[in-house]
Amino acid sequence: MFSFSSIDQYHSSLQDGTATCLQAVEHYLQRINAQMHLNAFVDIYADEARTRAAALDLQRQSGRPMEVLHGVVIGIKDVIAYNGHKLTAASRILEGFHSIYSATAVERLLEAGAIIIGSLNCDEFAMGSTNENSAYGKVLNALDETRIPGGSSGGSAVAVQAGLCMVSLGSDTGGSVRQPADLCGIIGLKPTYGRISRYGLIAYASSFDQIGIFGSTIADVALTLQVMAGADDFDSTVSTRPVPDYTHGLKEKQDKPLRIAYFPEALDHPSLDPEISQAIHNLLKNLQAEGHQVSPVSFSLLDHIVPAYYVLTTAEASSNLSRYDGVRYGYRTSKEGLDINELYETTRSEAFGTEVKRRIMLGTFVLSAGYYDAYYTRAQKVRKLLFDQTQLIFKEFDHIFLPTTPSTAFRIGEKTTDPIAMYLADIYTVMANLVGIPAISLPLFRHSNGMPFGLQVMSNRFEELSLLRISDLLIDRQLKP
C-alpha cells in the first residue's frame, strides 16, 4: 500500500525498492477517481503519467541517478501551459484550446523528473476567491464539502489537501495560492515577483502574477521552488539573481532570534474573526517569551490596499484579456452574418463569465480618458508608497506576520452576491503582490468550527530562504507537544 509523507521519504522508498513511480501514479489515479465529486481536476493525463512513471522506474532500476523531482506526481492549475494539453483558464472562451508550447516552469519540472498528472480547476482566469467562478463548476473543500476551498487556485489546494497528488502549482495575483491553502489547511507559497518565469502562465495582472506552490511539507515546497526559479530568456521581468540552494539552506542551524513585525491595525481589524486574531496574538506572545523580537508596527495604508489592488489588476486584466477575441483560437460565437465588432461583442459576451466581465469593464473604466488620473495614477502612487513603507519595515525586521484571511472557509454560495465583500476579504493577501515580496500561508491553527486556518508570513524580496526557514521552525514548533 503506497503512502506519501514527503518527497524525501518517497525517494528513500524508491531507492530501497519498497515503492515504484508507477505504484505512486496508480495510487493517485485511484484516489482522483474516488474523489471526482470534489471537482479538483479539469483534465487527467492517466495513460501519459503511467507511461512516464514506467520509464522513470526503468531508468532508476538500470542504475541512473534520480533527478531531484524524480517521479514526483504534480498537478498544475489550468492557467499554466503544457505542450499538447488542454489550456482553458476554466473559461468557455478557451473551449477546446490546446497549448502548442510549455511554460518554462513546466519544462523545468519535467527536466527534473516530475510526472504531471493533470490540470486543476480554478476560478475563471484566476479571478475569484471561492472557485465558484469556473466554467467547470465549483470545487469542494475536502474537509467539509459544503464549504468553498478558496480561490482562485481552489483545485490545486484541494488536490494536495485530499492527497490527489504530491505537490501542485497554482498562481497568485492577490492571494490565489495563500488563501485556498489557508482554507484547506495546507502550505501555500507565493514567491517573490520575478523569482519564477511567467512564460506560459496565462496573464491576469502581469505585474502581480506569480506561480505558487502547494505542498504538505516546507522541504517539498522548497525543492519545487528550487527547480522552477531563476532567469529565463522568454520573460524579461524574471530576475537573473542566482537561485540559492533552499534544500541545503533549510538544514543549516539558525540560532539568531527572529525579528518579527506585526500590524495592530490588521490584527484588530473589525472584519477579522476574533478567534483568528486571538490565535495569532497568542503565537506572537509565546514567540516573544521564547526570546524573539516581536514588535507592533503602525501601518496606515491598510484600508487603501484593496482599492489600489483592484484598480491596478483590473486595468492590466482588461488589456491582457483582449487577445481572447474569437479570431485566432478558442471560442467563437456560432451566430452568422456579424460584422467584426459584433463578432467581438457576441463572442466575448457569450463566453466570459460574470466576474471576468466585471473586471474587464472595471479595468477599462479606470484606464479611460477622464478617469485615468483619478484611479489608475492614484493607485500607482499607493503602490509606490506601500513599497517604500515596506522597505522601511524590512530595514528593522526580517518577517511580517499577518492573518491570511479574515475568516475560515465559508459555505458555498454564501458570498457570491456581494462582490465588494468578497474583494475586501483579500485585505491581508494583496499586500505581498502589490509590493512583490514572497509570502507563505502556514497551516498552524484550527477554529472552534472545526475548520483550519493559517498564519501568513512575509519576507523581503528574494528572501525565500529566510521565509522557508522560519516556516519550518513555526511548523516544527507547532508539532511539538
Partner 1 sequence: MASNPAYETVIGLEVHAQLLTQSKLFCGDSIAYGAAPNTHVSPVTLAHPGTLPKMNKKAVELAIRMGLACHCEIERHNYFARKNYFYPDLPKGYQVSQHTTPICKGGHITIRTEAGGERAVRLNRIHLEEDAGKSLHDVLDTDSCIDLNRAGTPLIEIVTEPDLRSAEEVSAYLTELRKLVRYLGVCDGNMEEGSLRCDVNISVRRQGDARLGTKVEIKNLNSIRNARRAVEAESRRLIELLENGQPVLQQTRSFDAATGTSFATREKEDADDYRYFADPDLTPFALEESFIDSIRASLPELQEQRVQRYMNQWNLPDYDARVITDDKSLADFYEEMVNAGALPKPAANWMLGPVKSWLNENDKEISDFPLSPAALAAVLKMVDTGALSFSAASTRLFTHLLQHPADDAAVAAQQLNLIQQSDADTLAPLIDEVLARYADKVTEYKKGKKGVLALFVGEVMKRSKGKADPRVTNELLLERLKS
| Residues labelled catalytic | 77, 152, 176
Q: How far is CA 50 from the centre of its chain?
A: 27
DSSP state of 227: H
Q: Which is nearer to partner 1, 71 or 330 (CB)?
A: 330
* Contact status: 87 vs partner 1 (CB under 8 A): yes
Helix, strand, coil in percent for the chain, rounding step 5: 45, 15, 45
**Applying CB under 8 A, does 240 fall inside the site for partner 1?**
no
Contact mark string toward partner 1, 295..324, x via CB under 8 A: --------------------xx-xx-xxx-
Give the span between the Cα atoms of 284 and 294, in whole angstroms. 7
Sheet holding 293-296, edge to edge: 41-44, 115-120, 73-77, 167-171, 211-215, 187-190, 439-446, 452-459, 399-403, 259-262, 293-296
**Binding flag, residue 42, partner 1 (CB under 8 A):** no
Site for partner 1 in 357-376 (CB under 8 A): 364, 367-369, 372, 376
Among 240, 341, 417, 448, binds partner 1 (CB under 8 A): 341
Between 26 and 235, name the residue whose CB sits nearer to partner 1. Answer: 235
Q: How far apart are the first and last CA of the chain?
A: 30
Which CB sits closer to partner 1, 7 or 81? 81
Contacts of 137 by beta carbon, 8 Å cutoff, 6+ apart: 39, 121
Residue with cell 484547506: 184
Judged by CB under 8 A, the chain residues 153 through 212 that form the site for partner 1 are 198-203, 205-207
Strand, coil or helix: 50: helix
When asked if residue 100 is in the footprint of partner 1 (CB under 8 A), the reply is yes
Minimum distance, C-beta of residue 127 to partner 1, in the bound complex (Å): 15
d(CA 206, CA 314): 11
- Give the interface segment with partner 1, choosing from 19-27, 96-104, 255-263, 290-298 (CB under 8 A): 96-104
DSSP label at 374? I
Residue 36 or residue 100: which is nearer to partner 1 going by CB?
100
Give min distance, CB of 370 to partner 1, in A: 9
Q: Which is nearer to partner 1, 103 or 189 (by Cβ)? A: 103
81 binds partner 1 (CB under 8 A): yes
152 prior amide bond cis, ω within 30:
yes
Report how far residue 421's alpha carbon sits from residue 109's, in angstroms, rounded to the nearest whole number: 37
How many residues lie near partner 1 (CB under 8 A)? 45
Please pick, from the candidates 289, 340, 420, 479, the single residue that binds partner 1 as defined by CB under 8 A. Answer: 340
Q: Is position 344 an interface residue for partner 1 (rule: CB under 8 A)? A: yes
2: contact with partner 1 by CB under 8 A: no
Grid cell digits, residue 379: 493607485
Give the separation between CA 99 and CA 83, rounded to whole angstroms.
Answer: 5
CB closer to partner 1, 174 vs 403: 174
Q: Which stretch binds partner 1 (CB under 8 A): 86-94, 245-253, 349-357, 453-461?
A: 86-94
CB of 376 to partner 1, least distance (A): 7
The DSSP secondary-structure symbol of 202 reads P
Helices (H), 209-352: 218-228, 246-251, 264-267, 274-289, 302-320, 340-351
Read off the amino acid at residue 105.
A
Q: Are strands 73-77 and 41-44 parallel, antiparallel or unpaired?
A: unpaired
Minimum distance of partner 1 from residue 365's CB (angstroms): 10
61: which strand partners? none
Which of 382, 221, 415 lies closest to 309, judged by CA? 382
Which residues 270-289 are close enough to bind partner 1 by CB under 8 A? none
Residue (106 or 272) nearer to partner 1, CB? 106
Secondary structure string (H, E, C) spanning 376-410? HHHHHHHHHHHHHHHHHHHHHCCEEEEECCCCCCC
CB of 191 to partner 1, least distance (A): 17
Among 26, 48, 235, 273, binds partner 1 (CB under 8 A): 235
CB of 170 to partner 1, least distance (A): 15
Q: What is the contact surface with partner 1 in residues (CB under 8 A)?
A: 79-81, 87, 89, 94, 97, 99-101, 103, 198-203, 205-207, 233-237, 315-316, 318-319, 321-323, 325, 327-329, 340-341, 344, 364, 367-369, 372, 376
